[in-house]
Amino acid sequence: MSTYVLMKILESAPSRYDAGIRMLTLGQIDRIYERIALLVEKDQKVLDIGCGTGALSLRSARRGAFVKGIDVNSEMLEVARRRAKKEDLQNITFEETGIAEMEKEGSDSYDVVMSGLCFSELSKGEIAFTLEEAMRILKPGGKLIIVDEVLAVSLPLRILQLAVRIPLVVITYLLTQTTTHTVKGLAQSLVWSGFQLESSQTYQMGTLIQMVARKPNGE
């Protein structure tokens, strides 16, 4: 079991996850998450897919929404729970659930489904499945909000992105054992799944994307 040496280092990684993400996004992520939380209203029912250490969930809960955060990483969830407890937030729950395990969420039951830096961790099949589930559990007219890392559109920007990203990824991984990936064709997948894309904004030279889509209001 030789990777145990590596494991030993990775073992404490969840506690360094947030620092890692902040480094990789050069501090942008907090501002984006703050802005997203503004889209959530009091008393709305919110599902945060891949909530990790709770960055988006906690911000939404502070605005008075009823939030459920799901993630597959039990340690990150522990960090998230600890944070919620520290702030004494009663309107938030965290659950160890993967994207393929949402069947117990009722259909048409959420006002908002959100996800920060999670889709880029998924395979194509998983993305399609997740969007299908999101479509099912959202109320008609409900919002889907996604923040993720993408490849820049123009070639010069893409080259610049690589030049900045490669050393950044190495340094961040060495310091915090955290890394991210990019996701492709998200807008297209959203449309295929039946969502109406409302807005799409990019940040940090086109490398971070924020998308807001809506489940169509039934006729």
Partner 1 sequence: MESLIYIFINTVETCLRMAPFPAKTGLIRIGNPDRNSPVLLTCNYHLTVQRMKRALRGLDAFLLVANSRGINVWCAATGGLFTNHDAVSVLKTSGIEDLVDHREVILPQLAATGLERKVIKKKTGWKGIWGPVEAMDIKEFLANGETKIESMRQVEFPMVRRFEMAVAWAFLISIFFTAILSAFWKGAIIPVVMLTWGVALLVFLAFPLYEQWLNPKTERVGFVLFDFGRGGFQLILLAVVLVVLVGLSMGPESFDWGFFLRWGIVCSIVILLVSIDLMGSTPVYKSGLHKDRMFTIELDEKRCRGAAFCEQVCPRNCYEVDQEKHLATRPRADLCVQCGACIVQCPFDSLFFKSPKGEIILPESIRKFKLNMMGKRTMNTGDR
The helix or strand, by DSSP H or E, that contains position 129, with its residue range, turns out to be: helix 124-137
For the chain, what's the residue count? 219
84-90, Cβ contacts within 8 angstroms, sequence gap of 24 or more: 84/54, 84/57, 84/58, 87/58, 87/62, 89/58, 89/61, 89/62
* Per CB under 8 A, 129 contacts partner 1: yes
Q: Which is nearer to partner 1, 128 or 151 (CB)?
A: 128
The C-alpha atoms of residue 101 and residue 130 are separated, in whole angstroms, by 10
* Per CB under 8 A, 174 contacts partner 1: no
**Torsion angle of C-alpha atoms 141, 99, 71, 85, degrees rounded to 10:** 40
Among 41, 95, 101, 198, binds partner 1 (CB under 8 A): 101
Q: 7: Cβ–Cβ under 8 A, 6 or more apart, which residues? A: none
- What does the per-residue mask of binding to partner 1 show for 41-80, with x meaning CB under 8 A? -------------------------------x-xx--x--
Applying CB under 8 A, the span of 3-11, 24-32, 145-153, 194-202 interacting with partner 1 comes to 3-11
Q: Which is nearer to partner 1, 30 or 126 (CB)?
A: 126
Q: Compute the least distance from the CB of residue 107 to partner 1, in Å.
A: 17
Residues at the interface with partner 1 (CB under 8 A): 1-8, 10-12, 14-15, 72, 74-75, 78, 96-101, 121, 123-126, 128-129
